[in-house]
Amino acid sequence: MSKRLFDLVAAALGLIVLAPLFLAIAAWVKLDSRGPVFYRQQRVGRGGTLFSIVKFRTMFQRPADARELTVGRDPRITRAGHFLRHYKLDELPQLLNVLHGTMSLVGPRPEVPRYVACYPPEVRALVLSVAPGITDWASILYKEENSILGRATDPERVYIETILPTKLDYYVRYVRERSLWLDLRIIWRTLAALARAG
């Protein structure tokens, strides 16, 4: 089975099975704070093409030029948002991105343009040669990002100089070793990590 066919089948089944959960989360987001249910943001996809990533909204409505990093107990995050982020439930609408073809279930996480501009050229070409994913090794293995940023006096600098290079190492590892079996392994590890998150 090809990666794209696997993505289509798994994303479609996921959306069908999780439909009641989607409706419950959508109602919670709407009742918890004013604003839309979904949040869209421009990210860099395969080949450097921009696309709109879809998530459940986890923040109060904010200016378009607000900072893109969330740090520690960020006051912009809603009550529902803290729960959704902890269990990664805000990422579920990205199954729609997978159906559309702008994302894969597994692949390097898509970044905003300003941080992609920080990728070394040879790394950028390699990482952007595949479709970005909902989950990857960095999402599973690199868990300290939020706490590191929460302790930093300059979170953006720490992200660019410390966290981003570590993520890129994981992205490069995935691109070089990718296979359907690896995708299945990463999906399993992701589900196991979420089960332990409580």
- Condensed to tens digits (0 to 9), the pLDDT of residues 147-170 reads 777 777 888 898 899 899 999 999
What confidence score (pLDDT) does residue 126 get?
97
C-alpha 106/C-alpha 195 separation (Å) is: 18
Q: For residue 122, give the 3-state DSSP assignment.
A: helix
C-alpha 132/C-alpha 44 separation (Å) is: 8
Question: Percentage of the chain with pLDDT > 70?
Answer: 91
Residue 116 has pLDDT above 60, yes or no: yes
Residue 184 has pLDDT above 90, yes or no: yes
Within 8 A by CB and 6+ apart from 150, the residues are: 71, 72, 73
pTM exceeds 0.85: yes
Provide the domain count of the chain: 1
What confidence score (pLDDT) does residue 62 get?
62
C-alpha 89/C-alpha 103 separation (Å) is: 17
- Give the residue from 122, 116, 114, 95 showing the smallest Cα distance to 106: 95
Range of the domain at 127: 3-195
